[in-house]
Structure 1
């Protein structure tokens, strides 16, 4: 796995649980039996902290760092044998090619213990970030761990959810340390993670465009080191992952594959290109429409409203053609650093100097600072099984003229929402329906009457539908 990731240019950070052991008994994967406080070949009761009751008082440092987190046996990380064993485990991962570690429950381990363990690594400079959920009045604070590595800033995710849910994006103009968050160079940030998405405190894939646009903002905004959580569907707090450990493909068997969504994946290059560049050319409408540049390297627009946005934007980008990595359409920036574009409801636009052409996708510059692509942007929420795909067809020749064989396939990158942009002249009225095709060619039409729509005078129509 590590080799495959490295070949694709992806580094591997292992989520390492070194604060505690399992509060259970049974048989391990290698066949040995274990029980709480007794893990043959690794640890025994003598290697656990003296406190065998749960953590109950977060205002008491000793209680937090020596008692049991939700009843899990707490390892005595001040003990030489335990430190040596943990370091050996981490060094084994490094020998497999792992590039760094995310330390689970770090606030429950004294920082001095972590520093000692880290010093024993064969690569003490390996990336190191720590789960230290901070709260006012607690005895253990995230700032204590700056000397060891990065610290996960949970407040970042909580603030993003509040703003995208109930407040105005215009407020994000000074988002970061001015909001009381950790120093940018120490903060590991995220929109959601494997823990918080189940508790309601952060945005999740179930929040639709708010979730996607929050990722666009996170990857465009120069604060912290961002994480993108790529997970699976869940129906309740304790729902597990797809069974049997088999991953047939993204968007099947419950896998969400957020890392591959076009809106998110396209922002990785944006962030890398903009690294080190300051925020410039900020614009907002006082509400949920914002835009900002990253010096002369990049520019992003976010329209978190229920209607389209058409505007001429002023940037610091060099003149020329660019590819909007959100839509795949071409955009031309004129000699004054301006371009005109229309964004559909709850969509974004992102340009950077590392993406000057769209590689044959729809669009292209018109020479006057605008986009040439006009037509309909189809979005349909449709659940499928392995081998099934969603298509659209309609009474217009560009939509296949009601012929399922000529229907247009939608992109599942944001599954269960399937997307497709179709070029149609401004003012075009049309009827359409979605169809589902199985791997064996079986065609299923959605139920109900024909859908109707018309491309407006602005030349861009956003359709947000649900399979019926």
Structure 2
């Protein structure tokens, strides 16, 4: 097209280039709230289970499977030792529960203790338990805190075992697990009968259940009227 001198022309492109769409804000997910008449109960369990097994929760309420292990609630874990889950339960209700482990084939192992007993209130709460131990804070109990310094080899953890039932009666299979954030400083709080003398020792266990006992004579202590703290170093 020829444009006479002094005239102007407007050009409208139909380019094939693409432009990015404007950024969008992700939709806001509303906070999860439990159904009316229920409260969220968080269950935290410390358990070292064999490789290939996972920890589940089962109990008397329908939300906990009504004791049907096929409907047990799975717990999540990032390290294979500390497990947790949150369940909506009826508010103001007493209930019993227990932890189990299951393998891929569905074989069930129950924790070796009586049923845990608890009650929901009107607000969310947390229950912290250890495999084979009754729920902490039991009435008339004295809480003894065990602190142990021991750098554990990879794949092994520190446990405490002792002369009274609350410390597994010297059975290393039911020893109380200690937890650690650095694999050197380990601790656990255990409810013991008040004013009770006992003997105890620390052990190392791996995932296969192999046990290494610390050397020397048994340690001795007493629970006192309201508990105590024991600070030890592996010997």
Q: Which has the higher contact order (CA 8 A, sep 6+)?
A: 2
Q: TM-score, normalised by structure 1?
A: 0.22
Q: TM-score, normalised by structure 2?
A: 0.42
Q: Which is helix-richer, 1 or 2?
A: 1
Query: Greater Rg, structure 1 or structure 2?
Result: 2
